Homo-oligomer: A and B are copies of this chain.
Amino acid sequence: MKRTRNTVQRRAVLDSLLALPGHPTAADVFGHVRESYPNLSLATVYRALHALVEQGAVLEMRVENVSRYDGGQTPHHHVVCRACGAVADAPAEALPTPVLGNLERASGFVLDRHPVQFTGICPQCVEPAARE
Contact = CB atoms under 8 A, between A and B. Distances in A.
A107 interface: yes
A111 B118 CA distance: 7
Contacts of A63: 62
Interface stretch (A3-11, A18-26, A29-37, A96-104): A96-104
Interface residues of A, number: 39
Tell me how many chains of this kind the complex includes: 2
Given A77-B103, A117-B117, A118-B116, A109 B95 contact: no
Interface of A: 62-65, 67, 77, 79, 81-82, 88-91, 94-96, 99-100, 102-112, 115-123, 126
Which 4 residue pairs across A and B have the least CB separation, nearest first? A111-B120, A109-B120, A117-B117, A90-B106
